[in-house]
Structure formats: C-alpha cells, structure tokens
Amino acid sequence: MYKMDELIAGFTGQMKRAVAIGESAKLKKPKAPIRNILLTGLGGSGIGGTIISNILRDDLKVPVVINKCYHIPNFVNENTLVIATSYSGNTEETMSALMQAFQKDAHLVCITSGGLVKEFAKIHDIDFIEIDGGMPPRACFALSFIQLLYVFHQLSLIEDGFKLSLSNTIQRLDGEQEDIKTNAKKLAEKLFGTIPVIYADSNFEGVAIRFRQQINENAKMLCWHHVIPEMNHNELVGWRQHNDDISVIFLRNNNDFDRNQERIEFSKGVIRNYTSRINEIYSKGDTDIERSLYLIHLCDWVSYFLSELNEVDAIEIEVINSLKGKLAENPL
C-alpha cells in the first residue's frame, strides 16, 4: 500500500525514471504537417498538459488547446497532434476523445500505464508511451509530464534544452529537500483551518491549478484559485468583508512580468484590509520548467502536511471511485 509522503519524497526518483522512459521512446513521424495541438486528459493525468502549455508558450509555433471533456473541438484533423494522457488507461472521457480524434485522422500519441487506452493504441497501431502503473495518478505527475516534453522534442516541436532543466531540477530538489519540507510544513500550519485562495501570474496558472487539486484530493479541503491580471478585472472587487478564515497564497517568480508584479503588490494591499493571512511562495530555478517543478514539489508537500493536520488519509478518494462505479453501471 502506497503512502502519499513516500510518493512525494520519491519525486526526483520518478523524474529520473520518466527521463529514462522518454529517452527510449520511439515515435512515428507525422504524415502531415502539425498545425495545431490538442492535449486531452483529466485530473492528475491531464494537469501536465495545462502546465506544459504555459511553460512552452514562447517555444511552440503552433497553437495548443487543452481538452478536459468527452468531446474534441471541430478543428481537429490530419494536421492536429493529439496527445491523450490517461494514467490508468481507463478514463472514459479521454477514451471518448481519443476515439473521436482517431476518426478524424489526427496524429495520435498516447501516454498511459495500460488499460483501454493501451489496448486501443495497440489495435490501431497508435504510438503510445507506457509509464509505470499502480499508483495514484496525482502522485505520478512527473511520469506523464516529462513524456509530453519528449513527445514534443521527438516531433521536432521543441529543442532539447528541457533536458538540462530536468537535470538541474533533480539536483536542486535533492539538495534542498529538507528545507522544502520545513517551509511546506510551516505554510500548511498557516493554512490549517482556513479556506486557501491561490493566486499566480497567468503564465503559471497550471501550477496554481495543480496546487488547488492537491489540496482538494490530499487534504480533503475546498479552495479556489485565480490569476493575475484577470483577477484584477473582477475578483479583486469581491474583497469587501473581513474574514480571517481565508488564507491567501501568492505563487511568485522573480521574473514575473513587471506589470503583473505591480498588480500583485497592489492586490496584496487591498486583500490585507480583509484578511491578515497572506502568504507568498517564490519559485527557484533558471527556466520555467525548473520554476514550475520546484513550486509543484513544494506545494505537494503542503497538501500532504495539511492532510496530517486534518487527520485524513491523503490517498483516499472514495467519492471519486463511487462516481466512477456508478458510471460503470451504464458504460459509454
């Protein structure tokens, strides 16, 4: 039986394993030029697509669309790269999207540990990268996320600079693990008993979503997130009532766009009138890959320490399993 703290502690080991898998993967070249990309997947399997679309915004020369439902956009055709990610291989929304993309003759790549996705890929001669299975999908972020980088590289959509970023991240996280855990535990203690509100620069929204999801699943808590500058055009006005039961966390990077840094400082001043619980986490690293992975790892620890404070099992997701069981009674 896996324990969430052991899985989080093994993050860099998982990164090394993911690199080994990515290096050995062999993918077919597309028959037609890739003019757009669709990344389809949900939950712990799909969040990597959201994050990589943020990270590679300045590198990719074709548009990326994130899909988190049963149906795919109408633009998908033979010029579309569709990457379907399902850790279990049995996510029904992802299978539905995959089958539709196959019918539209898109160039398909699957990332999975097995299940129906792997079976479908083998039957139809679709490229798939098989990752290690048997763990909670949200605890296997590195396995699936890093494969996306290798897929883009093999299909000549990005250069190989990401490999150095991964190596640097492993070295940093291994060297600073105890400090990361200490800082995470301190933040968890500040968030305990409150409703967390997560804010980040819009280029790091995927990281903010990941943090929110980890708090939801691991700590069994509700929270919400928003991004700068969009929240300055709506949510900022909602701060009107004093409530110290709300804790705000700003995920920050030293290289965030200067106008957004000004917006964050102004927003902090407004929010401080209504809650004294304002926290900031700064990333570390020289690239967006390094900065994102640092924040993800630290925030994963925060969610685990919150689960301990809440006296809940970080692994347990019975309500989600119940929903899947109910849907299975009447399959697609």
| Cα–Cα distance, 26 to 128 (Å, whole number) | 9
Is 217 labeled as catalytic in the residue annotation? yes
Distance CA 26, CA 124 (A): 16
- 71 catalytic? Reply is no
Q: Please confirm, yes or no, whether 233 is among the known catalytic residues.
A: yes
Q: Minimal CA–CA distance to 209: which of 53, 313, 90?
A: 53
One-letter amino acid identity for 41? G
Q: Which two tokens stand for residue 281?
A: 């986490």
- CA-CA distance, 40 to 58, in Å (whole number)? 21
**136 to each of 3, 115, 204, 289, 312, how far by Cα in Å?**
10, 15, 24, 23, 16
How far is Cα 197 from Cα 278, in angstroms, rounded to an integer? 10
Is residue 223 within 8 A of residue 299, CB to CB? The reply is no
Q: What do you get for the CA distance between the two ends of the chain, in Å?
A: 31
Smallest CA-to-CA distance from 280 within 237, 259, 258, 249 is with 249
Of 93, 217, 225, 226, catalytic:
217
Among 190, 162, 203, which residue's Cα sits nearest to residue 289? 162
Which one of 26, 29, 233, 326 is the catalytic residue?
233
Structure tokens at 208: 């903010």
Instruction: For residues 91 and 169, give the distance between their C-alpha atoms in angstroms, rounded to a whole number.
Output: 30
Active-site residues, by number, are 217, 233, 324
